[in-house]
Amino acid sequence: MRKVLFFMSLLVVTSFTAQTTIFSENFNSVPEGQVPAGWMTTRNPNSEFNPWATNSVNNNSLQRSCSVVLNWYYDYANLGTPQIDLAAGYYYSLSFLLRHDNGTNGSPIFSIYVLPATATFTGTETPVFQEQLYPVNDVTKTIDLSPFAGQNVKIYFRVKALVSIFSFTSIDDFKITQQTSLGTSESTIKADAGIYPNPSSDFINLKTDSTVTKAEVFDQAGRKMNVQLTHDKVDVRSLPAGAYIIAVETKNKKYSQKFIKK
């Protein structure tokens, strides 16, 4: 009987951590100078260089990656994925390797956008991730895509120069994983985490047993909204009335929950 109970317990623990890769691209089989089938790339038409493209130059430990060179004032380049279907009821995570060589004269801005698959990307949307690039070798970036569950999306990378510049940026090992059941940290969320009041007309309070490190709000189209987090409270007064998703991270948990703005 003990063996049976132990085996059943092991199955339960395993189910909490099961993950499936639903989309991946390592660019190794893509011909030099091209992007994978279904991907798109555009850039400033006045640039002297090509858009994002697969190459094996300056990759060091990366066998082959997708790279772009920026070479002038306000130069920019965009890279977009094919449609990716994120089924409802799961947690999703995007991870990829990033490498950047500043070259000369400053650091560009690196942004990631997640849009409905039918939307047209312009570069004026609100990014889900943005940072200024400095020299880095093969650092792994991870983005939570859980707020977009239940949607068909495309993911866009954008690199934009702020000054006259010559720089080299690469991404590799692009992967989206689907967590098929609640992870250990999320399994106890109802007991010690949540939001209130819901609906709310002004502030969302975050109930948690540890310090909140990040809180983001997304509308039903997956656009990141401009809200202010102060300690364990999110100011939603500026949001139009409607339904939203709030994604919360603490020191030992992360969760997403739908709320209504009155």
Tell me the C-alpha distance between 75 and 172, whole Å: 22
What pTM did the predictor assign?
Answer: 0.66
The lowest-confidence range among 11-20, 82-91, 251-260 is 11-20
- Whether 68 maps to a domain, the answer reads yes
Residues 172 and 44 in one domain: yes
Report the CATH number that the domain containing residue 192 is assigned in CATH. Answer: 2.60.40
Q: What is the mean pLDDT of residues 11-29?
A: 71
Beta carbons of 197 and 109 less than 8 angstroms apart: no
Could you tell me if residue 13 is left (phi over 0), alpha (psi between -120 and 50 degrees) or otherwise beta? Answer: alpha
Asked whether residue 176 carries a pLDDT value surpassing 70, the answer given is: yes
Domain boundary among 148, 179, 210: 179
pLDDT of the residue at 152: 94
Residues 91 and 165 in one domain: yes
Domain boundary among 124, 148, 179: 179
How many separate domains does the chain show? 2
Residues 175 and 188 in one domain: no
Asked whether residue 154 carries a pLDDT value surpassing 80, the answer given is: yes
More confident residue, 259 or 164: 259
pLDDT of the residue at 38: 95
- Whether 161 maps to a domain, the answer reads yes
Q: 184: which DSSP letter? A: H
Tell me the C-alpha distance between 122 and 227, whole Å: 22
Q: Where is 2: in which H helix or E strand?
A: helix 2-17
The token pair at 239 is 């949001």
What's the pLDDT tens digit per position in 102-145? 655 567 888 999 999 999 999 888 888 888 887 777 889 998 89
pLDDT of the residue at 18: 65
Residues 174 and 231 in one domain: no
Strand partners, 67: 53, 170
The lowest-confidence range among 58-67, 96-105, 172-181 is 58-67
Tell me the C-alpha distance between 183 and 14, whole Å: 10
- Whether 3 maps to a domain, the answer reads no
Residue 28's pLDDT band (cuts 50, 70, 90): confident
What's the pLDDT tens digit per position in 49-77? 667 778 765 544 445 677 766 655 567 88
Q: Which domain holds residue 120?
A: 18-179
Taking residue 122's Cβ as centre, other Cβ atoms within 10 Å add up to 10
pLDDT of the residue at 186: 42
Beta carbons of 184 and 97 less than 8 angstroms apart: no
Nearest alpha carbon to residue 123 among 159, 83, 162: 159
User: 97 vs 43, 65, 182, 192, 239, CA distance in Å?
Assistant: 22, 9, 26, 34, 34
The token pair at 142 is 């991870």
